[in-house]
Chain A
């Protein structure tokens, strides 16, 4: 636990220090007086707030769309019979293993061809293609007994009603897990936003922070302040859902 936390304390302490006193020896852990200059220059001179809003918007959009798309697809795969189901499931399952980093070159050209480079769509749409979420959602839906949708069908409910009124409410804890997982992956994603968006005002936090570093002489105080603030939103989201999140087992996703 100490190993997990000490680097954070170090960052917090550096964020609240004047960069010059960073090099004092021995290092003082508790800055005195507290120096707010790093935080101020981050919020005033850098588009940091903009990056945060972009990140929250993109991650939120991906999370909501993914929950919707994946749970719908998973419902079809888990509770319906149709032609081509087995081979489709197999293709999707194989695709889970395709590393996104290996697709950056063709993905760049596809997105450029669609005219989406430098837009929010370039950040939102490609992550939706990853099929891992379908299998997570499917493992939650499979746990629902078949008799439930079957009896609703007999009562004349349409598949859409069954999905909305029966399946979704029943798999809520699973949805929270899938949502948190998606949000976390999206919040931390780096390589694709780095390529897909060049415009600084549309950029997300991770790429923005790394661009702060590329200056000739890194300003460690400023960087620490950025890291400190970047950690806040995702930590808050995690704290809000952590009860559900930590007790659920995701491994059912790849169980056949």
Chain B
């Protein structure tokens, strides 16, 4: 059968149109949810940074007032600073601990499974449960840690009541919770690396540290890329733990951006203000992940 060139083109176009239709049919359920529950909220958020009005009051266009107010608000600045300081403590700590554990676990060939499960248990717990667990493990009166401190003859430490200790304590709890997850992530990455390379390096006399730095680290680049991005996104929206443990206190030393956004809606009813702060969070995370992508993918 021979087709004229016009007929050929027509059939080709019909075929392409049909594949496109099928493809969008496959994408449809997902794109619908995406459009309604993600794209629309983001656009709404961007739009409402220029408007004022409470939950009930009429909305008015106010130009850049919200932006000025948000950047001028000392509490908003505190919340941004706390979120950054917290992330700067929690992310590197959990990565280092998880990497060390993953390297150790890799040397246990069989029967390491109970250890893995035990390590993973904290990760499976809802943050709120983890937070409550620590409210009492750290309790000045009956917490087990302060029991140990008192046995040593010291005064009990009020971990969550002390302005300078509260944020590091929250970071510590998140590290406890996250260690299992990241250990498994790094372990999966390490197990997937080609074994022969490491054997060859060992034969050539490369020590364990050298093998890790020169072989494992560069080969694990995709894993690290995912880890850094994912950890940034998750940690910059810290909410559950501070909501349950400290409610931002003492003296706002654990007030995070997400907690402040929640309050601006449900306690003060200030939508314009809360939206602007939210929008700043969105832009920050987008910019950070963009920068990380650039640094980790396109350099070298």
* A residues whose Cβ falls under 8 Å from a Cβ of B: 1, 3-8, 10-11, 14, 22-23, 25-27, 68-70, 72-73, 75-77, 80-83, 85, 88, 92, 94-110, 114, 125-126, 128-131, 134, 159, 163, 184, 187-191, 195, 205-207, 209-210, 213, 220, 223-224, 227, 230-231, 234-235, 238-239, 242, 245-256
User: A11 contacts B261, CB within 8 Å?
Assistant: no
User: B282 contacts A14, CB within 8 Å?
Assistant: no
CA distance A228 to B128 in the complex (A): 13
CA distance A6 to B144 in the complex (A): 10
| A82 and B24 in contact, given A4-B180, A251-B222 (Cβ under 8 angstroms) | yes
Quote the shortest CB–CB distance from A239 to chain B (angstroms). Answer: 7
Chain B residues lying within 8 Å of A92, measured Cβ to Cβ, are 34
User: A14 contacts B261, CB within 8 Å?
Assistant: no
Quote the shortest CB–CB distance from B8 to chain A (angstroms). Answer: 18
Question: Per-position contact with A for B18-56: 1 when CB-CB < 8 Å, else 0?
Answer: 011011101101110110111111101100100000000
Chain B residues lying within 8 Å of A69, measured Cβ to Cβ, are 29-30, 33
User: A188 contacts B27, CB within 8 Å?
Assistant: no
Chain A: which residue is nearest B134 at the CB level? A7
User: A103 contacts B278, CB within 8 Å?
Assistant: yes
User: B126 contacts A206, CB within 8 Å?
Assistant: yes
User: B20 contacts A82, CB within 8 Å?
Assistant: yes
**Other contacts beyond A8-B133, A205-B126: 4, CB < 8 A:** A98-B286, A209-B126, A231-B125, A251-B227
User: B26 contacts A159, CB within 8 Å?
Assistant: yes
| A107 and B121 in contact, given A68-B29, A76-B23 (Cβ under 8 angstroms) | no
| A10 and B132 in contact, given A1-B115, A108-B265 (Cβ under 8 angstroms) | no
Chain B residues lying within 8 Å of A255, measured Cβ to Cβ, are 222, 225
CA distance A249 to B222 in the complex (A): 10
Chain B residues lying within 8 Å of A213, measured Cβ to Cβ, are 132, 244
Q: Which among B115, B123, B136 is the interface contact of A220 at CB below 8 angstroms?
A: B136
CA distance A249 to B188 in the complex (A): 5
Q: Which among A73, A106, A184 is the interface contact of B41 at CB below 8 angstroms?
A: A106
Chain A residues lying within 8 Å of B222, measured Cβ to Cβ, are 251-252, 254-255
13 contacts between A and B (CB under 8 A): A1-B118, A5-B121, A7-B134, A82-B24, A102-B237, A102-B279, A105-B274, A105-B278, A125-B37, A128-B37, A209-B129, A250-B188, A251-B222
B179 sits at the interface (CB 8 A): yes
Chain B residues lying within 8 Å of A106, measured Cβ to Cβ, are 40-42, 44-45, 48, 275
**B117-150: which have CB < 8 Å to A?**
117-129, 132-134, 136-137, 141-142, 144, 147
User: B223 contacts A251, CB within 8 Å?
Assistant: yes
Chain B residues lying within 8 Å of A195, measured Cβ to Cβ, are 262, 266
Chain B: which residue is nearest A180 at the CB level? B124
User: B119 contacts A1, CB within 8 Å?
Assistant: yes
CA distance A73 to B275 in the complex (A): 31
B229 sits at the interface (CB 8 A): yes
User: B31 contacts A73, CB within 8 Å?
Assistant: yes
Chain A residues lying within 8 Å of B30, measured Cβ to Cβ, are 69-70, 72-73, 128, 131, 134
B189 sits at the interface (CB 8 A): yes
- Helix, strand, loop or mixed for chain A's interface? helix
Chain B residues lying within 8 Å of A8, measured Cβ to Cβ, are 121, 133
Q: Which among B45, B116, B129, B236 is the interface contact of A103 at CB below 8 angstroms?
A: B45
**B222-279: which have CB < 8 Å to A?**
222-223, 225-227, 229, 233, 236-237, 239-240, 243-244, 257-258, 261-262, 265-266, 271, 274-275, 278-279
Q: What is the interface size of chain B, counting residues whose CB is below 8 A from a CB of the partner?
A: 90
B67 sits at the interface (CB 8 A): no
Chain B: which residue is nearest A234 at the CB level? B124
Q: Which among A14, A163, A190 is the interface contact of B127 at CB below 8 angstroms?
A: A190
User: B132 contacts A209, CB within 8 Å?
Assistant: yes
Chain B: which residue is nearest A24 at the CB level? B142
| A72 and B22 in contact, given A210-B244, A250-B226 (Cβ under 8 angstroms) | no
User: A110 contacts B19, CB within 8 Å?
Assistant: no
Chain B residues lying within 8 Å of A110, measured Cβ to Cβ, are 36-37, 40-41, 44
| A242 and B285 in contact, given A109-B44, A188-B125, A230-B129 (Cβ under 8 angstroms) | no
| A129 and B33 in contact, given A101-B239, A188-B127, A249-B223 (Cβ under 8 angstroms) | yes
Query: Looking at A105, A129, A231, which has the most chain B CB atoms within 10 Å of its CB?
Result: A105
Chain B residues lying within 8 Å of A26, measured Cβ to Cβ, are 147, 151
Quote the shortest CB–CB distance from B271 to chain A (angstroms). Answer: 6
Chain B residues lying within 8 Å of A129, measured Cβ to Cβ, are 33-34, 36-38
| A105 and B265 in contact, given A99-B237, A205-B126, A251-B185 (Cβ under 8 angstroms) | yes
Q: Which among A5, A96, A105 is the interface contact of B261 at CB below 8 angstroms?
A: A105
B169 sits at the interface (CB 8 A): no
B167 sits at the interface (CB 8 A): no
B159 sits at the interface (CB 8 A): no
